[in-house]
Amino acid sequence: MGNSELNTVGQSVRRKEDYRFLTGCGQYTDDVNPPHHTHAYFLRSPHAHANIRRIDTAKAKAAPGVVAVYTGADLTGVNGLPCGWLITGTDGQPMKEPPHPVLAQGKVRYVGDGFAMVIAETPAQAKDAAELIDVDYDAVPAVVNPVEALKAGAPQIHDGAPGNKCYTWALGDKAAVDAAFAKAAHVTQLDIVNNRLIPNAIEPRAAVASYSRADDGYTLYVTSQNPHVERLLMTAFVLGLPETKVRVIAPDVGGGFGSKIYLYPEETAMVWASKRVNRPIKWTAERSESFLADAHGRDHVTHAELALDPDGKFLAMRVHTTAAMGAYLSTFASCIPTILYATLLAGQYTTPAIYCEVTAAFTNTAPVDAYRGAGRPEATYVVERLVHAAASEMGIAQDEIRRRNFIREFPYQTPVALLYDTGGYDACLDEAMRIADVQGFAARKAEAAKRGKLRGLGYAAYIEACGLAPSNIAGTLGARAGLYEVGQVRVNPTGGVTVFTGSHSHGQGHETTFSQVVASRLGIPIENVEIVHGDTGRIPFGMGTYGSRSLAVGGTAIIKALDKVVAKGKKIAAHLLEAAEADIEFKDGKFTVAGTDRSKAFGEVALAAYVPHNYPLDKLEPGLDETAFYDPTNFTFPAGTHICEVEIDPDTGKVAIVNFSACDDFGNIINPMIVEGQVHGGVVQGIGQALLEQCVYDQESGQLLTGSYMDYALPRADDVPSFKVTTKVTPCTHNPLGAKGCGEAGAIGAPAALMNAVHDALSAAGVTYLDMPATPHRVWSALQAAKH
C-alpha cells in the first residue's frame, strides 16, 4: 500500500465503532454490574407544586430487601446543584439562583421532582418500598407557562426569585433599533411560540456509583457527555470531595442531544450514598422517568419584529423573548436563551441593528436546558420566519429577499457580538435550490391543486455558532468553566497510537473521524489508532461534547498534540540519520533528510524513543507522548440553506413532507458519510419539532400530559422523506482542520424551512399564522378559522 492511500481524510470510512454496536458488544452504563451492587429508586412528586408537611419512611425502611432510604434531610453537608453560567441582568444584578437541592426538601416544584431515594437489593424491591413512603402533601397552585409565571399573582415557586423571574437580559443597541423602526418602509411582526421538547435519547440516563474503603475513593459510571465537567461540579460544588478521589466514567452512551451534559440529582445522591451503604448502587431511568425528569428543551414565547426599507433590505430587528427555565436552573440553562440565542439573530444577513431582550422565568415543570442546537434553532426560527413573512407581505421572492441581505464580506462583525470569519451563503442557496428543483415547483403545485392538495415551499438560510469556544470571551459573558479541549497522543513503542480525547462520543463516530485525522497526519493505517474517551481516570481534564465542538476544538487539540509528536520525532530522526533537525521532513509516515532518499519510518522513530539505545539522551527525553490543550480564538460558523416542500391535505390537515433538500457549509469534511448521517439525524429532530413533538403540561394541574410515546410523538422513519443533502465548503479560517461542525445544523435549519413551507402552502387558503408543531389538528383548525 502506498502511503498516500493512508490519507483517508475526505473519505467515507466505515465507522470503527459500529462492529461493537451492531454485534451487541457495546458497554453501556447499564451493562456495568459490580459485585454486590444494590439498586436505587427515586420517589418523585406526583404534584406540580406542593409543600411537603411530613415524610415517613419507617415502613419503607422495614420493607424486604431495603438497604437504606434517604430524604433531603439526610443529605447534611451536601450543597445544591450549581448553574455553570452566570447571566447578569439589565438591572446589573446577577440572575436569581434559588437552591436546586439534590433531593427536594420541604417543597416539590414539578411533577417528577425527586425527594427520596430508596436503595434495595433489587429494582422491584426498591420500587415496592418507595410505595410505602408516607408523604403528607399540601398541594398549592402551579404555573407551567413562562408568560403566565411572570404575571402578577402567579404562584410563587422560589422564595429567592420574586415574581418567578430569573433575569431580564438584553443584547444590542436599543436606541439604534428604535430609530431604524421609526423610519422603516415596512415592519413585519410575529408572535412565536417555540414548543417545548423532550430529548428522548435511546439510552435512558443511568448511573452506577461505587465507593472503596481501600482508598476512600469513588467510581461513577454515568451517561454523560462530559465526565470531567460532571466530576468537577459534583465534587467541588456539591459534595465537597477532592476531585482526585472521584473517577467518572462515561462509557458507551446511547445518544445525548444535550440532555446528558448536565449534572443531575440522581447520580449525585448515589455517589453520596455509596459510601454510606458501602456498596455499589445502580440506577437506570425508566422511560417514564426520562420524560418527567430529563432536562427539556426550547420553550420560548417571542414577539419579533423586522424593519425593512422599500427594497426589502433589513434595517433592524427587535426581539422580546420569554424563556422557561423550569423549576430549577439546570447546569447551562441560563446561557441557552441568551448567549446562544440572541447572538445568532443576525443570521446570514447584514441587518445593521438588532436588539434582543430575554426574560427567563421559573415554571412548575422539568428544568429546561440545551437540546440539539440549544438557542440556535430558536434564533434561526425567529429570523427565518420573519424573513419569510416579510417577503410574502412585500411580494418579494423568498430567495431574492435573502440574496438582497446576505453578508458577502468576511470577516463580518454582527451587531450581536459575533465575528463571522468566513462563509459563502449564495453558493449554498443556489445549490439547495438546484437540488430542490425550485424551478419545477410551480408545476408540482398546480398538479397537487388538481388533486385538491396544497403545496408549499419553504426556505431556511440558517447560521450557527459552534466550536464553543474562546474561554476568555465565554468568561466575560458569564461562563463559569473553560471551553478549551485537550488531546493526548501516546505513541506506543511499536508505532501504534493511542489518542486520549476530552471530547466524548455518544453517537457521533469520533472513533472513526479522529482516527482518520491521526492516521492521515502520521501516515499510518487507521487500524493502528485507538481513540480513548470518557474516563477521568485516563484522560487529561477535558470539556466534553456539545455545541458541535468535537472536531473543531477536540480535533484541533489532537492536531496540536500530533504537531508536538512530529516535532520530537524530527529530533529523534535527525539523530538516527545523523542530519540536522532543520533538514528533516515528515511526510507519508517517513522522516526524510530533505533532498535525499535517506529516511526513517514513523515506527522506527517510535521504537527508538522507547528503546533509547542510540538516542540523544543528553538533549532529549525518551518516550513519544504529547498532550495539547487548544483554546480556539473564535467560534466556527457553519451555515447553509434548507428547502422543504410540503403537501397538505385540507380535509384532514395532514402535512406530508414530499421533499427536503439541504446544502450545508461545515468547512472541511473528514468523513462525508458521518456528516451526512449527522445531517439526517438533525433534520429528523427538526422535523419532529415542526410537525410532531410537543411537551404538554396541563395548565391547571401541572401534570405532564405527554409522558409516554402514546402521547409524545417522536418522528418515525415513514414521517420523513428521503433527504437530498449536499455540502459546499468555505474552510474555517482559525483552526488547522478548517472544520466548523455539523452535529446540530439539521435541527437548526429544518423547523424554519418546514414551517415556512407550511405557511406557503396555507397562504392561499387565508391562513396567516401557525405555531409548531403543525399537527393535522392544528392545520385543520387554522383552515377552518380562515374560512370564517
Partner 1 sequence: MYAFEYQRPKSVADAVAALAKSGGKALAGGQSLVGAMKLRLANPGTIVDLSGIAELRGIKKEGDAIVIGALTTHAEVASSSVVKQSIPALAAVAEGIGDRQVRNRGTLGGSIANNDPAADYPAAVLALGATVHTNKRKIIADDFFKGMYETALAADEIITAVSFPVPKKAAYMKFPQPASRFALVGVFVAQTGGGTRVAVTGAAPHVHRASTIEAALSKSFTADAAKAVKIPADHLNNDIHGSAAYRAHLVSVMASRAVAAAG
Binding site for partner 1 (CB under 8 A): 124, 127-128, 288, 651-654, 692, 694, 696, 705-706, 709-714, 775-777, 780-781, 784
Smallest gap from residue 705 Cβ to partner 1 (A): 6
Q: Which CB atom, from 259 or from 775, has the smaller least distance to partner 1?
A: 775
Smallest gap from residue 288 Cβ to partner 1 (A): 7
Q: Which CB atom, from 103 or from 774, has the smaller least distance to partner 1?
A: 774
Residue located via cell numbers 522506527:
604
Smallest gap from residue 128 Cβ to partner 1 (A): 8
Smallest gap from residue 166 Cβ to partner 1 (A): 28
Smallest gap from residue 714 Cβ to partner 1 (A): 8
Burial class from Cβ neighbours inside 10 Å (0-12, 13-18, 19+) for residue 722 reads exposed
Rounded CA-CA distance 695/366 in Å is 11
Q: Which CB atom, from 183 or from 777, has the smaller least distance to partner 1?
A: 777
Q: Which CB atom, from 384 or from 647, has the smaller least distance to partner 1?
A: 647
Residue located via cell numbers 457549509:
665
Contacts for 131 with CB less than 8 Å, ≥ 6 apart: none
Cβ atoms of 155 and 364 closer than 8 Å: yes
Q: Which CB atom, from 417 or from 713, has the smaller least distance to partner 1?
A: 713
CA-based nearest residue to 223, from 263, 196, 185? 263
Rounded CA-CA distance 524/5 in Å is 10
Q: Which CB atom, from 99 or from 776, has the smaller least distance to partner 1?
A: 776
Q: Which CB atom, from 127 or from 680, has the smaller least distance to partner 1?
A: 127
Cβ atoms of 647 and 471 closer than 8 Å: no
Q: Which CB atom, from 709 or from 769, has the smaller least distance to partner 1?
A: 709
Within 10 Å of residue 609's Cβ, how many Cβ atoms? 23
Amino acid identity for residue 321 in this structure: T
Cβ atoms of 655 and 664 closer than 8 Å: no
Cβ atoms of 576 and 604 closer than 8 Å: yes
Our CA dihedral for 518, 523, 526, 527, rounded to 10 degrees, sits at -120
With b for 16 or more beta-carbon neighbours within 10 A and e for fewer, the 524-563 pattern comes to bbeebbbbebbbbeebbebbbbbbbbbbbbbbbbbbbbbe
Q: Which CB atom, from 573 or from 691, has the smaller least distance to partner 1?
A: 691
Smallest gap from residue 241 Cβ to partner 1 (A): 36
Contacts for 663 with CB less than 8 Å, ≥ 6 apart: 427, 428, 429, 431, 432, 435, 640, 641, 725, 726, 727, 728
Q: Which CB atom, from 124 or from 764, has the smaller least distance to partner 1?
A: 124
Rounded CA-CA distance 416/672 in Å is 32
With b for 16 or more beta-carbon neighbours within 10 A and e for fewer, the 581-603 pattern comes to eebbebebbbbbbeeeebbbbbb
Rounded CA-CA distance 156/154 in Å is 6
Smallest gap from residue 650 Cβ to partner 1 (A): 10
Smallest gap from residue 718 Cβ to partner 1 (A): 10
Smallest gap from residue 448 Cβ to partner 1 (A): 18
Smallest gap from residue 674 Cβ to partner 1 (A): 28
